[in-house]
Each structure stands twice: as structure tokens, then as C-alpha cells.
Amino acid sequence: MRYVHLYFTCIKRSMISRLEYKKDTMIALFSFFFSNLCSLAALYFILQSIPALAGYSLPEVGFFYGFSMLPIALDHLFSDEFWLVAYRRVKDGDMDMHFLRPVPVIFQVFAETFQPEGFGELILGVALIAVCASSLTVKVTLGAIAVLCIGAVFGAVIITSLKVSMAALAFIFKRSGPLLQIIYNFSNYAKYPLAIYPAFIRAMLIFLLPFGLFISLPVDTLLYGTHDPWLLCLAIIICAAVFFALAVRIWTLCERRYESTGS
């Protein structure tokens, strides 16, 4: 309870400091829309030159893409500060203040930033899903809805856990931003149906960096009923729990290695 209160206090402070940079926030919001539009345009240009991608029609691929934005957006709202930790803050010795406070460092990093840009992505994702779904004819079941919701929410937990683990490595290597970037970039590949990848990539995207588990499999379940939705829900939740526990463990182990810079 104390932490909930503390979280909101910190977030309020972070929002106030964000408003200091109103123009930058507006630009960030715009560039977010723009970046997603560019990726969508790229996909659209590619799909225009072929009849269907591995059997998936344009609206189906669009639905995939829209759904993939939801867990990414949710993660983006809450854990953006870890990018800074990975790229700069450890390297610059800028984490000292967190170690002086009687609250876990990892909590403080979460509470450092709330990124409203995530809402833009969320809205865009839902809009894309709505547009594409209107030209699809699928039988919507309760299970399919459930697995999509679980996939979005617990998928975000998994992404955040990956982010935390990678950012934690900065305590050892000083700068783990590039590593985080590339792990995170794998989320791009879950924007397309898993069917386009050979078996070992599919396996990797389900078991190792499980973007496919919470993006592709739920969408396949909705479109083609390929999996038992309730079993898939369970798998996603267990996976999220394991990833989160691991991430916290890695963070705690790594933060002991933090050394401040002299200046």
C-alpha cells in the first residue's frame, strides 16, 4: 500500500517534470504515430506486391500488426526508464541517488517515468484491429477474446521483464542499451504470422524470446482456432510469472555491481 502511494507520488512528479518539456512531449507523441505509420506503410507496400503473405490476407496481417502493438504499448507506459538505465544512467554514474533511498532500486526506476506516448500506440493498435476486423469474417468465441486480453496484458509483463533483465546488465557492462535494443527489436518479428518463419525461429519466438507466444498464437487462435484458448492463457500466465521472477533476480544480482563514476 505504501508502495502504491509512493508510485503515484513519483509518477505525479515525473509528469510535472515532463510538462516542463511540453514541446518535446508533443514531438515524441507525433513521432510515435509517425513511426508506426511508417512501419505500417512499409508492410502495406510489401503486401501490395504479393497476393497474400504465407496465406494470410492483408486485413489478417493488419490485425496481427495491430494486436502486436497492445502489449508493446502497455510495456511502454510503465517501463521506459529502463532504456535510460541501459544506455546512459549507469555509464554516467547517475544512479547514485537511488542507492541512497530506503526503497528497492528497481521500484524507484519503475516509478521514475510514466510514458503517456504509450496511450497513442494503444489507440492506434485498437484502431487498426477494428479496421482490419471489420473486413474479416471469424467466429469470435469467449476463449479467443480471453486469450487476446491475457496475451496483451501478460505479454506486456514479459516484455517488461526482458527489458529489466537487459537493463540490469548495464551494471556489469556499463552500457547495455544496444543489447536491450536488439532483444526488444525481436518484438518486430512477432508482428507477422509465425508461419513465415522456419521451425527453429518459430521455436525461438515461442520458447526463448516468447513474443510469438503472446502475440502470434493468440491471433492464430482467433483467426483459425489453432490452439485451445484456455490452455494458451495458462501458458502465457506461467511464462510471464517465470520471466518476471527471473528479471527481478537478475536485477538484484547485477545492481550489486554498480559503481559510481568519480566525477
What single-letter DSSP state applies at residue 142? H
- Closest distance between other proteins and the C-beta of residue 21, in Å? 4
Looking at beta carbons only, is 128 or 166 nearer to other proteins? 166
Binding residues for other proteins, per CB under 8 A?
20-21, 23-32, 34-35, 38-39, 41-42, 45-46, 49-55, 88, 173-176, 178-179, 182-183, 185-186, 189, 192, 195-198, 201
- Closest distance between other proteins and the C-beta of residue 121, in Å? 12
Q: Find cell 535510460 and name the residue.
A: 84
Residue 41's CB: how many other CB atoms inside 10 A? 10
Looking at beta carbons only, is 16 or 20 nearer to other proteins? 20
Looking at beta carbons only, is 39 or 104 nearer to other proteins? 39
Structural contact between residues 184 and 72, judged by C-beta atoms closer than 8 angstroms:
no
Choose among 106, 240, 54, 104: nearest CA to 162.
Answer: 240
Looking at beta carbons only, is 174 or 257 nearer to other proteins? 174
- Closest distance between other proteins and the C-beta of residue 46, in Å? 6
Residue 94's CB: how many other CB atoms inside 10 A? 14
Looking at beta carbons only, is 115 or 160 nearer to other proteins? 115
In angstroms, rounded to a whole number, what is the distance separating the alpha carbons of residues 131 and 126?
Answer: 9
* Burial classification of residue 70, based on how many CB atoms lie within 10 Å of its CB (0-12 exposed, 13-18 middle, 19 or more buried): buried
In angstroms, rounded to a whole number, what is the distance separating the alpha carbons of residues 67 and 152?
Answer: 8
Partners of 53 in the β-ladder = 56
User: Which residues lie below 8 Å from residue 10, measured CB to CB, with a gap of 6+?
Assistant: 108, 111, 112
In a 3-state reduction of DSSP, which class is residue 93?
Answer: coil
- Closest distance between other proteins and the C-beta of residue 32, in Å? 7
- Closest distance between other proteins and the C-beta of residue 42, in Å? 4
93: left (phi over 0), alpha (psi -120 to 50) or beta: left
Looking at beta carbons only, is 141 or 178 nearer to other proteins? 178
Looking at beta carbons only, is 186 or 244 nearer to other proteins? 186
- Closest distance between other proteins and the C-beta of residue 145, in Å? 29
- Closest distance between other proteins and the C-beta of residue 27, in Å? 3
